[in-house]
Structure 1
């Protein structure tokens, strides 16, 4: 009893917020690497000689590998822990990002094939990144702070555009498109080694005191996630026999559908949006980098706002369903304002409507908070991988469909309708299909 009282009187450390800042940095690099083709794509098309449909297939190569890698990545996280797999993921995706800058040494179909291959390998290496983020957040944050924490690292996808799009646009203009891949790959390789110092389990982190660990444990954090051992003293891995329970749960199926639709908006903004500005609206590549940063700033603000609003609702109502569903549904409906771009000629109005849409998308992008709230504690990594696999199926399908829509029509009007329709379906899924949000208990 005396020890317990002593722990409660200690001033707790705030290492968990340093962890989420690091996740933010890693996620910003993650999305910066994904966005390289959006910035360098027009120059690459001109030099390497492929059209919008070819670009759609190259963009989808990332999604194909990313989806394939989700279940193995989640299994590896549960088996070997977050630290080692997170480090390897960052290191290898950064190497394959850098190698994309070498495809100019090839010609014709070989150039496209090598770009497809490096993009594919980058996607496979990135597969454990977001399940890792979710897993680390579930271990480090109590439920009443979790949405804010997830919103911080998830909002890095917008911040990535704010920071990296102008840099990549300038690099493309001054030094050629190859420099974009060399720069982004180099930054990622450096950051990968920082993960070895930053990522630890709460009970093992040298910067977290016992008061902080007890605080987050009492709030529902899974602080023992990577410390479970079986009767032989070995770390337990996930039981694949539980997989059927995950894919047959109505709540999770609704969450999966919602994430699929939300990711369609994400991949439009990080891949096709800069190309839309350059081709449909006639902006030069240097201006595109800065123009694309404006909606991204709004997305960043929306993302943080959505997380803070969700945790506010959680404290006020005590209901995960109200706290998570309200910002998701409101944000998705608001993001449909992108359709108004089809009815204006002014670049300023286009940026305004896209900024409104990006803000709404940011507010509603709480899928990973829902995942951290609902994933079974026995297989958080695999559950996150399955969630991300369903969600990122849109990274395969949507770039190809948008590419063919643009190639067929020569314009982006129906592509914007296609993307906005996904926002509506996401809102419907959370409002009607998901039902009560709670942590899933596996049947033994």
Structure 2
């Protein structure tokens, strides 16, 4: 095989050798097509879960759903979504990304269509819980696919790309579902969004292959992926020496608990933007509906840029020769620490100043999420543990998703509607998250096998 010159800093592979150069030219970037597929899956995933939020005003009139019941209906999703993260990760490691991600998408698409057929609160809650169970595999599936398809020095940017599918899907839901409800009926909106899931399933089943058997993957790109530290499954010849760690034993590691606590703190703050942020702008800053529709999108757009910047920065530092521990800690600590400026939003006098601080906070959070999504592949004791760790980490983050909106509501009620205490709590948890990544996680490396 002809050798290729390598320019720039001499980055080494996990085995200590200099990696082959990045493939260039047509047909030598198949791995980025895989990321686009994962991006589409997460976009549909978040579109389907957001459909109810947009259609609920029209549904509540037909199904006689009172305000006291609407919150319960919305939160039912997160109960099964959080719990099912744990088995979803284990199933992905056991049966593979292609089959489990496709089955999960079929499940959640049918549940979305089912919400268009409900006749009352009971059936709606049931369909919403089924949706949460089906969508639980999306995050760990995308994380595992990227771990298999990308060398370590490109993995963070790739994770930031598919992670932004969540923000794009949520953004698309508002105009799409509103148009469908206005032109037809809220039941049609659920059916159309559910059918979009089947379009993605068709594309996923036809186009996704593992690196070992992808028909369009060149030898040059395959060598680049594998030599760069992609977490491919061990061959039968290697399995005798592969780490043997049971799923439940993953909870014995300090690093895993650090990953869980850190993501819990980070996601607690993110869920403020997903749930209470519009109410904050209206109640605390006096925004009207028109202003909310325009300015309320600003933090989300800035967050997309923050996520891509986080992925680019981490991979850039890796290519410059920084250790994986130093890169991950730098991005995780700086992002979560900077997000604590959310606490200052309540003391600045102007609405524009508050919006700027909130946008900075959200972008700082997404700056870190690119590295958070890479941690399971970084620390997994074997390739067969990546999705399991992603599911465990995401379980903890969605516990924060369940508790965060509830705690904020209680704090608002106790303080007479003031956002001072809720935002101070969010800022404090950002600092706790930074300290967790700094001191609880000592080194970012494959977990050692314990007797």
Q: Which TM class, normalised by the smaller chain length? A: 0.7 to 0.9
Q: Decide whether aligned partners of structure 1 residues 442 and 294 sit closer, same or farther in structure 2, where only a CA change above 3 A counts.
A: same
Decide whether aligned partners of structure 1 residues 54 and 409 sit closer, same or farther in structure 2, where only a CA change above 3 A counts.
Answer: farther
Q: CA deviation at 1:295?
A: 1.1
> How do 1:6-405 residues align onto structure 2 when only pairs under 5 Å count?
13-41=28-56, 48-51=64-67, 54-103=69-118, 105-106=119-120, 111=121, 113-169=122-178, 171=180, 180-224=189-233, 242-277=246-281, 288-343=292-347, 347-365=351-369, 366-377=371-382, 378-405=384-411
* Residue 259 of structure 1: how far off its partner (Å): 0.9
C-alpha distance in 2 between matches for 1:409 and 1:169: 34
**Preserved CA contact (<8 Å) 1:38 1:271:** no
Gap change, CA 1:340 and 1:116, over 3 Å in 2:
farther
After TM superposition, the structure 1 stretch with the greater mean CA deviation from structure 2, 37-46 or 264-273, is 37-46
Cα shift readout 1:36-79 (whole Å, capped 9, x = no counterpart): 3444455656774433x644433332221112212221222122
Counterpart residue number, 2:15: none
Q: Which deviates more from structure 2 when the two are superposed, residues 326-335 or residues 171-180?
A: 171-180
Q: Deviations over 1:280-322 (max 9, x none)?
A: 6666667645443221110000000011111112222431121
Q: SS where residue 155 of structure 1 aligns?
A: helix
Distance 1:440 1:89 in 2: 29
Select between 324-333 and 267-276 the one with higher mean Cα deviation. Answer: 267-276
Measure, in 2, the Cα distance between the counterparts of 1:416 and 1:50.
Answer: 28
Q: Which shows bigger deviation, 130-139 or 185-194?
A: 185-194
Report the CA distance between 1:348 and its aligned residue. 4.1
Give the root-mean-square deviation of aligned CA atoms: 3.2
Please tell me whether the aligned partners of residues 143 and 390 of structure 2 are also in contact (alpha carbons under 8 angstroms). yes
Aligned in 2, Cα 1:119/1:22: closer, same or farther, shift over 3 Å? same
Alpha-carbon contact 2:341-2:361 (below 8 Å) kept: yes
Contact 1:295–1:354 (8 Å) recurs in 2: yes
Shift of the alpha carbon at 1:359?
Answer: 1.0
Cα contact 1:341–1:350 (8 A) shared by 2: yes
Q: Distance in 2 between matches of 1:210 and 1:267?
A: 43
TM-score, normalising length from structure 2?
Answer: 0.83
| Other-structure match for 1:439 | 446
Gaps of 5+ in 1: 232-237
The Cα shift of 1:252 comes to 1.7
How far apart are the structure 1 equivalents of 2:60 and 2:427? 27
Distance 1:351 1:380, change over 3 A: same
More displaced 10-residue stretch of structure 1: 301-310 or 117-126: 117-126
1:161, distance to aligned residue in structure 2 (A): 3.7
Q: Comparing 127-136 with 386-395, which one deviates more in the overlay?
A: 386-395
Structure-2 separation of matches of 1:301 and 1:82: 28
Q: Is the 8 A contact 1:38 1:272 kept in 2?
A: no
Q: Aligned pair in 2 of structure 1 residues 273, 71: CA closer, same or farther (>3 Å)?
A: same
Segment drifting more, 39-48 vs 418-427: 39-48
Greater share of helix: 1
CA contact (8 A) 2:271 2:405 kept: yes
Displacement of 1:84: 0.7
Cα distance in 2 between the residues matched to 1:62 and 1:228: 40
- Taking structure 1 as the reference length, the TM-score comes to 0.85
The Cα of 1:147 is off from its aligned counterpart by: 0.8
* Closer, same or farther: CA 328–141 of 1 in aligned 2, 3 Å: same
Range that drifts further, 332-341 or 345-354 = 345-354
1:426 lines up with 2:433 in the alignment: yes
For 2:445 and 2:106, the matched residues in 1 are separated by 35
Q: Contact conserved, 1:56 with 1:402, CA < 8 A, in 2?
A: no
- Equivalenced residues, count: 427
